[in-house]
Amino acid sequence: MEEMKEILMKDNSIEKDYSKLTSLEHRKKFAQYFTPYPLASLMASWILNNSNLKTVLEPAIGLGVFSRALLERNDIKIKGFEIDNTILTKSKEIFADYDNIDFILKDYMFNDWDNKYDGIICNPPYFKFHNYDNKTIIKEIGTRLSIKLNGFTNLYSLFLLKSIHQLNKNGRLAYIVPSEFLNSDYGKLVKTELIKKKILRHLIIIDFKEKVFDDALTTASILLCSNDTYSNRVKFTYVNKLTELNKVEELIANYPVINDEANTYFLHELSPDVKWRKYYQKQKSTAFKNLIPFARVGKVVRGIATGANDYFTFSKSKAVENGINDKYLLPCICKALDVKNKFFTKNDFVKLVNNNRKVFLFDAIGSNEDKVKDYIKKGEKLGIHQKYLTSCRTPWYSIENRPPAPIWVSVFNRTGLKFIRNEANISNLTTFHCIYPVQSNLFDNIKIDLLFAYLITDVAKEIFEDNSREYGNGLQKFEPNDLNKAQMLDLTMLDKKNEQDILNLYYQYRETVLNSSPDETLVEKINEIFISIYSHSNL
């Protein structure tokens, strides 16, 4: 047995061997992403430091990396759930010499509701809401816990909610999950439960700037919870280097004492309604004065979602091939790659058309032309009318009524938000979000240019970053409401001279971009004007 322990513990060699022998398709089907052993060991320390520990639950046991980390130091009784018989068979082989692990081939979400545990430790499966039976599971969780769930709630959040319910008095919970729930709308309910149940003690945000483990993990959050009355404070710890994990070991060893008060809050000070980034990272907007909600100036909505881009998008040749008249084709940007610069003009659109790019949408409501009818029948033969979005529309081939927006903004980015001035006045798919200036006397056409001049500056991007979602390796995502709820400088505070100076620089910059020689120093000068007027350091 001792020999077996030496083999089982310490690293992820078991996971590596399994990954070599098991297809990627199978691993993706069951969302099998393995926890690096150093993190599993860290989480196990939190569970094992509970003097009341008698029973441990692994809701998604997989190859038992947490059980290995636990059994390295304690022969505690463990129960593990798993839905994939392939990986469970392998796990049973690994722990063949142990009689204190109970393996159960059942879906944790629908079983074991009446039992509670002294320790719960888990890396739950990560699925997008449309990749699992979310309606059935959400109904199960909602009914059992008497809570109303967002239909877009991720499966890992549902695992966590169930585990919180199953935590014994004085029990401890350790979960490793993607960090996005901290800063997303669907994470609000999870944050509410953590606060309401008064169990959250430490939240460790891992944001490694480079790959430090053999797998792809660079970002994650570790939640350490305890159902006790020893503390009513939460410590947020931001870790971007492997060596900084020592700080977490110290927190675990010293609990409930917190020696470093930085980024520490009483539970009642936490709000589930805000992005929790504010609790562990300095907000860039605090460097500026005279801020207003972006929603007072512009409304951000997503682009057109067709539900079947291959069917609805057209190039010039596809239109000819199917005999579709131009009047049934809506000019539309379908891919971000088709927009090269910050200014998209009518000439840019004409070039795309002539290069046979897909820059039109099929828009034939009310048409009686035979060729249009034939194309609709073709869609029905292909089952396009039965897809998720199309099945919700009447008729199924209608497209969303989304007028062209004067400004577009990228959805994903690594180098800061990318804003596009849509001078061609055409529509766009979800590759960009649409920005519509709020209708008021404040923003006429000239003022839209002033708004855009502001949006392309570093000041604007830095302030927006406070409301972004992070997905690892520097990738940021902005949903429409992330921007609507963000802040910006109040441009009405500009005097006429400063406003004109900014517009003059902006028009010069526009010319350099259209002449294929963008002069970024002009944008830097606009940025400097905003800093000189709005920075707190210039008070």
Work out the pLDDT band at 148, boundaries 50, 70, 90: confident
Residue 211 pLDDT exceeds 70: no
Work out the pLDDT band at 440, boundaries 50, 70, 90: low
**Mean pLDDT lowest for which of 154-168, 444-458, 460-474?**
460-474
Work out the pLDDT band at 1, boundaries 50, 70, 90: very low
Per residue in 453-467, pLDDT (tens digit) is 999 999 999 999 887
Q: Given phi > 0 = left and psi -120 to 50 = alpha, else beta, which region is 524?
A: alpha
Residue identified by tokens 């199309």 is 390
Per residue in 497-539, pLDDT (tens digit) is 999 999 999 999 999 999 999 999 999 999 999 999 999 876 4
- 475 versus 167: the higher-pLDDT residue is 167
Q: What is the mean pLDDT of the chain?
A: 89
pTM of the model as a whole: 0.73
Per residue in 263-320, pLDDT (tens digit) is 999 999 999 988 898 898 888 888 899 999 999 999 999 999 999 999 999 999 999 9
The residues that bridge with 360 in the sheet, in sequence order, are 314, 331
Work out the pLDDT band at 138, boundaries 50, 70, 90: confident
3-state secondary structure of 225: strand
Residue 423 pLDDT exceeds 60: yes
Work out the pLDDT band at 470, boundaries 50, 70, 90: low
CA end-to-end span of the chain = 70
- 118 versus 182: the higher-pLDDT residue is 118
| Interval 7-36 mean pLDDT | 84
- Please tell me the predicted confidence (pLDDT) of residue 154: 84
The residues that bridge with 239 in the sheet, in sequence order, are 206
3-state secondary structure of 341: coil
- Domains assigned to the chain: 2-281 (3.40.50.150), 282-304+433-539 (no CATH), 306-399 (no CATH)
Residue 46 pLDDT exceeds 70: yes
| Interval 64-75 mean pLDDT | 92
| Interval 343-371 mean pLDDT | 96
| Interval 33-62 mean pLDDT | 94
Residues 6+ apart with CB under 8 A from 217: 33, 35, 36, 206, 208
> Other CB atoms closer than 10 Å to residue 331's CB: what's the count?
19
Residue identified by tokens 């004065």 is 289
